[in-house]
Amino acid sequence: MKLFSYLKVSGNPEVAVLEAAGKNGAHYIAGGTNLIDLMKDDVMSPAHLIDVNDISCGDIEKLPGGGVKIGALVRNSDLANDPYIRQNYPVLSRALLSAASAQLRNMATVGGNLMQRTRCSYFYDVAGACNKRQPGSGCPAIEGYNRMHSILGASNKCIAAHPSDMCVALAALDAVIHTKGPSGERKIKMADFHKLPGSTPEIETMLAPAELITAVELPAVGFNKNWCYLKVRDRASYAFALVSAATCLEISGGKIKSARIALGGIAPKPWRSVEAEKLLIGKTPDEATFRAAAEAALKSAKGYEHNKFKIEMSKRTIVRALKVAAGGVA
């Protein structure tokens, strides 16, 4: 770990933004469950750390017109176990409880989870090449061991997969990210927040320098009757997803009125399958319909030597998650 300066700020988010804007190479830190690991391994070496734990972004606020605004400093465990979230946005609660360990959830924050970086082993290996870590150096995962890597949305520069569970649920719920930066406040749709690698895999989000995530807003519709978060992994706890699926349905008169399908573990960002959702609208919620949606969701998938199995696994995961959602979850 390289030397860095440390500053703890308090008050409004503007205080943190002003401090970060005045320091080249500054990074915000809250729970530190990902950043500290990256610093220990010299994957990231920020010159300055701005501790934002004491700024005013730690509340869960019900909005007058419906919906909820979740402060960026709300801990994952607090959000997962909040009675209002569990009742109205259960797919988010289940996704959070599927992630990491209880100890990490007690420290990790909503804002930090949004900024979580890939667990690609080549990204963590500072002795080797990685376009995400060192642009232009190459992507050894393409020809190397790529079992955990992407089958959708990747490029010839990077095939790393996004690791978050929370972000998959947020994608399904049409979340909006609130930020504050040197140029003022912004609202960014969850679908736009994370960037695909393309030719610049080192640029992972829409955030500008010194821009701080302050909150996540969820719309009033939380799909609290017909939903499922299904995570397929190598072991039952403390493991990243091979494939995960957040499915939400609104069923009326025996037909699907609206649908959401978001996938994790198979793309460089939380993967929302709008094509599959459109195919479900107006259809009977049965296995044939769900299989057709799964085929549509994986139509452009490309497997590599060690992860081709993910294509069929993803289809089966979608079908199962939709069946559970259609059946209703207590």
Q: pLDDT tens digit string along 120-137?
A: 999 999 999 999 999 999
Choose among 137, 115, 119: nearest CA to 46.
115
In the chain, what percentage of residues exceed pLDDT 90? 97
Domain membership of residue 124 (yes or no) is no
Rounded Cα–Cα distance for residues 327 and 226 (Å): 7
- The residues near 298 (Cβ < 8 Å, ≥ 6 apart) are 151, 152, 311, 314, 315
- Tokens representing 227? 């939903």
Choose among 322, 241, 236, 309: nearest CA to 279.
322
Domain membership of residue 79 (yes or no) is no
CATH of the domain at 31: 3.30.43.10
Sign of the Cα torsion 318, 319, 320, 325 reads positive
* pLDDT at residue 231, as a whole number: 98
> What total number of domains does the chain contain?
2
pLDDT, mean of residues 54-75: 97
Domain membership of residue 18 (yes or no) is yes
User: What is the β-pairing status of strands 60-62 and 26-29?
Assistant: unpaired
Domain membership of residue 127 (yes or no) is no
Choose among 296, 297, 289, 298: nearest CA to 322.
289
pLDDT, mean of residues 303-308: 98
Domain membership of residue 318 (yes or no) is yes
- The range of the structural domain enclosing residue 257 comes to 227-327
Choose among 272, 315, 309, 271: nearest CA to 293.
315
pTM of the shown model: 0.98
Domain membership of residue 36 (yes or no) is yes
Domain membership of residue 68 (yes or no) is no
Confidence band, pLDDT 50/70/90 cuts, at residue 315: very high
Confidence band, pLDDT 50/70/90 cuts, at residue 329: low
* pLDDT at residue 1, as a whole number: 85
Rounded Cα–Cα distance for residues 23 and 114 (Å): 23
Choose among 232, 153, 223: nearest CA to 194.
153
* pLDDT at residue 330, as a whole number: 42
CATH of the domain at 318: 3.30.390.50
Confidence band, pLDDT 50/70/90 cuts, at residue 85: very high
Domain membership of residue 98 (yes or no) is no
The CA distances from residue 212 to 68, 171, 184, 208, in Å, are 19, 20, 10, 9
Confidence band, pLDDT 50/70/90 cuts, at residue 90: very high
